[in-house]
Structure 1
Amino acid sequence: MSTQSLLRPAILIISDTAAADPSTDKAFPILKETFAQDGAGKWTEPIVEIVKDDILDIQRILRAWTDTEDAASGQIHLIITTGGTGFARRDFTPEAIAPLIHRHAPGIVHGMLAASFQVTPFAMMSRPVAGVRNKTIIVTLPGSPKGAKENLQAILKLLPHACLQAAGEDSRAAHVGGVKKLEKDAGVTASPNGPAPSNDPRLGATARARSSPYPMLSVADAVAKILEVAPQPKPELRDFSPDLTGYVIAEDIKAAEAVPAYRASIVDGYAVIVPNKTSSEAHIKGTFPVASVSHAQAASLPPPLEAGEIARITTGAPLPENANAVIMVEDTTIASLTEDKTEEATVEILTDELTVGENVREPGSDIKLGEMILSKGNQISALGGEIGVLAASGIQKIPVFRKPRVGIMSTGDEVSDITHSGPLSGGMIRDSNRPSLLSLLRGWRICEEVVDLHVARDTPHNELEEKLRAAFRTNDLDIVITTGGVSMGELDLLKPTIERSLGGEVHFGRVSMKPGKPTTFASVPFKDSTLGERESRLVFGLPGNPASALVTANLFVLPCLQKMAGLPGKGLERVTARVQGRVKCDKERVEYHRVVVAVDAKDGKLVARSTGMQRSSRVGSLAAANALLVLPQRAGFLEEGAECEALMMGPVLGF
């Protein structure tokens, strides 16, 4: 299609929040990308406007786009709106648009709803409108960026034909060749929508897939997808506190005060006036009266020092006016005492080796007023340096990125809490995953809170769905991490619960790795009750085997949390270690082998020692491990002394 014949779309964002702050809109970038990727090259880049949830504002824009044809800019063939199609108090879009429609298009509405019902029963809560005004097609989409994208994708391939017809194309000429030709030209088939990818737990064994329909991603591609979907870090302002450990600075911070604020002594001794070397009285060696005392805790400056006087001074105390150096107490001796014998009256200075400015800390010599002390992206460590410089510089409000809130949940009827007394029966197992993950995530110190969500049972009424909804709504969590329930069995409920019950999207359901192949990452739509805007919350479905759960948490959850907390999202630190012993590789998948990495006392190089048998259910392989050895995908062994990449889960040890 030539540039002249491309169709021209427009997108109207209907949102009170986005109208006040356009940077909060997430729908336009996604819809723009959808036109570019799925539009078969038939569309120009969309124009966009943002309006409040107001009927008159919505109608004003639509009339401007449809009732006049600007010769310079050309006709708008398609208007897509997003937002305001639900049942909330400010959802006015259908009421604004329906009266403007000259000819309604119920087929487009049915197509969007049919596609949405494949994802979630909550599609019935949408109130879409579609039709023609003058020569322009108008379609309303949901406010959720994910829902808007799915609805647009459901109809996008057929819209060029509708737009051309509405614009006045000769219908008889367009239909030469019949429906089959139109379908071929549009790139559609009679059944464009296949079944949802996950098993439907309500159906019998014959309806269940025998192998996973999810593509097998590499670890790198899986991490890239996570970082693509994870929300951007959110800045906030927090009061100064030593408890800010782990937070990431959200904007450059400059010193509010100079450090020190006055000329101060850096030793215990005597403030003196060092004479000019060219004068006849260039020596300071001799006996001098002690005129005053300056302490570090003094509320006011000491009196000015006169020529021929000295002042006793402690470390950190302000220098008297006129003093220009400090002699250390070790270079002096008491010559005489006061009448009450409690203080020195005169002191003898034993050396002439003193220069102007010696042992004096000048104002601002440590930190200048307005000097950059912490840059955006710096993390406040537990070592105390960042907290110390903030306190010294008088910074009382700290701009940081909000830490994400995370919940940990185990799934399965067989899982028994540690509090269960007595012996286990039948197929019961102790829940080691949840305590391990709670400990791991809290140790990273990049979560605002890590909440224990306990255990969700594999029940017919789907307790998992109830607990996931409660986790996001009641606990206001950004991420829920589950273990178990991500394979292909009829009681593996995570994927169908996300797709069918929560209206979410599974971004990947398999990863080419060992252990951890069935690792799942998904997002679910969530409407913020305070802002009234939809956003995505994340779900990590980790495998149920203990080693798999901890390995995949380190590989996938950590970079996601890092990004949301304001860090680059690089995951674990990478080092190269020399293999101790002989380690078998896997020709099918990359293996993440639990090892202890330590410094070899003989040559100072890093050495990796296996923790033993690596079965994914073996908790013992994790007990001493501080690293994951990334074994290459190949047959055979890594021989003794071979070098291999290792991902550091903890500090390097010493053999």
Structure 2
Amino acid sequence: MAAPYTIGILTVSDSASRDSEQDKSGPLLKELFAADAKYSVQKQAIVPDQAQEIEDIVKEWSDVVCINAIVLTGGTGLSKRDITPETIRPLLTKETTGITHLLLSVSLAITPFAALSRPVTGIRNKTLIITLPGSPKACKENMDAVFKVLPHALDLVLSRSVKQIHHQMQKSEHNMATTIQSGGSGHTCTHHHDNHGDPSQTGVSALLDTPVSRRARSSPYPLIPVEEAHKIIAKHAKPLNVISVPVSQFLPGYVLAEDVCSVEPVPGYRASIVDGYAIHVEDGPGIYEIESISLAQTGTEQEQPRALSKGKIARVATGGMVPEGANAVIMVEDTKLAKSSPSGDEELEVEILVGARSGDNIRPVGSDCSVGQVVGRKGQRIGGELGVLASVGVRHIKVFRKPRVGVLSSGNEVLDHIHTDQLKPGQIRDTNRITLLAAIQAAGFEAVDLGIVDDNVDDIVERLEEATAKTDVLLTTGGVSMGEADFMKPILEQKLEATVHFGRVMMKPGKPTTFATIPQGPKRPPKLVFALPGNPVSATVGFYLFVLPALRRMAGWPKPENVLVPVQIQETIQLDARPEFHRVQVSIGSQGSMIATSTGKQQSSRMLSMVEANGLLQLPMRTPELPELAKGTTVPCILIGTLINH
């Protein structure tokens, strides 16, 4: 194995040069390089935004120490102190415009604000120099892309032999074009347009009136990773407005928009913890006359019992008011009847058998909760706290509004399952709509049934405009692939002025999943649109994977992401060329760990694969080194239902 490439990391920051604890990007870069045995970090330093100090370090590391690659972080922005590009460019003997373009294109795919960054990359003698933003997040995103080409670039700079590498690259490209099979289906992948940066990926649909014969044979939308899709959705799924709601049985599932404090003490009076007798502790054991009776009561007739006389006792029930003067309560079990009325219906005298301490069996005023005490925190989702809120006198609270979600099915062949007695050739029953409506309601959100619309542009536009007027989020199924009547994306862009943020995701099932936003004018949040594939399983997986976290985020959940749990698979699973979300039944095994059993064939049109499925395995894409996962392998899984006993 060749010696590792030597790396120098230079942080350019006025604040970090004064306090190294503020340097987050430098240590992150060191951690990224340290994770790969091909690299060895030889130098690391922090300098202020001063041209001479930056220049001195770079010259020393490249000309004297002969570091293979120097990575600078910071000083590439637009502020007056950002001078890293101006300092580095004169030091270069050759610029590497391709790497610079790579940095910008990766960042721009994530945020338009990347256009405000000014990266510079190039070579000084035998040292490759790369400048990155000061943000740790941007550093990682840029380096994830650069790592793919960095070893080959360094070999070229260092004049190492690259013949074998070129041969491997050509062989890999040939294999990508001819031998990748999708999940054992026998499909030969020739989709060169799926490669990142392909000219066909314009991100905009063809005009609606384009004849079928002139339409593109490949999607204009880049194929993005699932993780990137999540980030894009999170940028647009913002918490909705705050509303005031009564404390009632309809409150669970809402998220508090502010802290809630008690307005009354609990208990509001001195209350007995047990059924027994209120006493004066100093009187001690003995026989005493019963002076009064205090029961737990409701309504306006409840009054404070009169003060207990010395040498007397009062009968009290659990929750009843303890009379003034009494300083303890003796349990019934520690007493004995000494005298009753002639009829035997009334206690007159009772013998106290034990001694007591002051305060025994008495709940003081506010001992459970005092006035002003916080009983609910902002961001807290209401569940079992409902009773607490009611007990402390809170009648209304402020919460984030839950989104209203509309579901629309599309397709000439799609018919309502209830109103269709018998299908004709080419017709199918609408399973997507009922499945998604039920899933939305089960998750605690309001679902709006928008029915079915034919594959007609004018009809679709009209239904979408109606839907956006009465919903916060719109789910459509069908019309997002490459068929003759797949109009959803161009209609959104050309008729509703929507922005399609992504139109394809690197996943199975659900590759054509589309996310868009429709503007609603100034000071009004845009409406979110999830255009899901028409295949039933694809639509369902897309809902749990993308839509449900977005709904939670809009409802104010502080942690809206799906929870991944480790499960042990019970059969060997062949991996696919795309990351796959495999439907499984998750249960508790005999050893107490969670186990997952496949629901069988995983075609995106096979609804039976969802029967009893309560989990989605998150499977990696197939590689030559990892074509399958063996039985017993632990795999991350998204729970979409209740756990069952094995």
Q: TM-score, normalised by structure 2?
A: 0.68
Give the 3 Å change call, closer, same or farther, for CA 582–3 of structure 1 in structure 2. closer
Measured in 2, the distance between the counterparts of 1:556 and 1:483 equals 14
Post-superposition shift, 1:489? 1.3
Residue of 624, 640, 643 corresponding to 2:612: 624
Deviates more, 1:223-232 or 1:335-344: 335-344
1:613 aligns with 2:616: no
Match of residue 305 from structure 2: 302
SS in 2 for 1:306: coil
Q: Is the 8 A contact 2:289 2:349 kept in 1?
A: yes
Measured in 2, the distance between the counterparts of 1:222 and 1:392 equals 44
Residue of 259, 262, 267 corresponding to 2:269: 262
Output the amino acid matched with 1:272: I
Match of residue 102 from structure 1: none
Match of residue 377 from structure 2: 375
Q: Is the 8 A contact 2:203 2:220 kept in 1?
A: no
Q: Identical aligned pairs, as a percentage?
A: 44
SS in 1 for 2:385: helix
Post-superposition shift, 1:333? 2.4
Post-superposition shift, 1:37? 4.4
Match of residue 245 from structure 1: 252
Q: Is the 8 A contact 1:486 1:494 kept in 2?
A: yes
1:595 aligns with 2:595: no
SS in 1 for 2:311: coil
Q: Is the 8 A contact 1:201 1:490 kept in 2?
A: no
Post-superposition shift, 1:394? 0.6
Post-superposition shift, 1:442? 0.5
CA RMSD in angstroms comes to 2.5
Output the amino acid matched with 1:465: V
Give the 3 Å change call, closer, same or farther, for CA 502–290 of structure 1 in structure 2. same
Post-superposition shift, 1:534? 4.6
Match of residue 463 from structure 1: 459
Match of residue 364 from structure 2: 362
Structure-to-structure mapping, 1:165-564, within 5 angstroms: 197-275=204-282, 283-284=284-285, 286-297=286-297, 299-352=302-355, 354-381=356-383, 385-445=384-444, 447=445, 449-459=446-456, 461-473=457-469, 475=470, 477-527=471-521, 533-564=523-554
Match of residue 100 from structure 2: none
Deviations along 1:222-262, one digit per CA (max 9) or x if unpaired, are 01100101233321211221201110000111111111111
Measured in 1, the distance between the counterparts of 2:290 and 2:486 equals 84
Q: Is the 8 A contact 1:200 1:208 kept in 2?
A: no
SS in 1 for 2:281: coil
Measured in 1, the distance between the counterparts of 2:630 and 2:117 equals 52
Post-superposition shift, 1:462? 2.8
Measured in 2, the distance between the counterparts of 1:222 and 1:604 equals 35
Measured in 1, the distance between the counterparts of 2:315 and 2:431 equals 64
Match of residue 651 from structure 1: 642
Output the amino acid matched with 1:598: S
Output the amino acid matched with 2:593: K
SS in 2 for 1:621: helix
Post-superposition shift, 1:415? 0.7
Output the amino acid matched with 1:639: A
Give the 3 Å change call, closer, same or farther, for CA 452–264 of structure 1 in structure 2. same
Q: Is the 8 A contact 2:615 2:639 kept in 1?
A: yes
Measured in 1, the distance between the counterparts of 2:468 and 2:531 equals 15
Q: Is the 8 A contact 2:202 2:220 kept in 1?
A: no
Post-superposition shift, 1:526? 1.9
Give the 3 Å change call, closer, same or farther, for CA 287–2 of structure 1 in structure 2. closer
Output the amino acid matched with 2:618: V
Measured in 2, the distance between the counterparts of 1:3 and 1:549 equals 46
The runs of at least 4 consecutive aligned structure 1 residues that moved more than 3 Å come to: 1-4, 36-41, 532-535
Output the amino acid matched with 2:403: P
Q: Is the 8 A contact 1:257 1:393 kept in 2?
A: yes
Deviations along 1:285-324, one digit per CA (max 9) or x if unpaired, are x211111011111611111111211111111111100111
SS in 2 for 1:250: coil
Give the 3 Å change call, closer, same or farther, for CA 40–315 of structure 1 in structure 2. closer
Structure-to-structure mapping, 1:83-102, within 5 angstroms: none
Output the amino acid matched with 1:335: A
Post-superposition shift, 1:339? 4.6
Match of residue 92 from structure 1: none
Give the 3 Å change call, closer, same or farther, for CA 355–424 of structure 1 in structure 2. same
Q: Is the 8 A contact 1:584 1:638 kept in 2?
A: yes
Output the amino acid matched with 2:323: P
Give the 3 Å change call, closer, same or farther, for CA 628–414 of structure 1 in structure 2. same
SS in 2 for 1:463: helix
Q: Is the 8 A contact 2:78 2:117 kept in 1?
A: no
Measured in 2, the distance between the counterparts of 1:582 and 1:196 equals 38
Post-superposition shift, 1:39? 6.3
Q: Is the 8 A contact 1:227 1:569 kept in 2?
A: no
Q: TM-score, normalised by structure 1?
A: 0.67
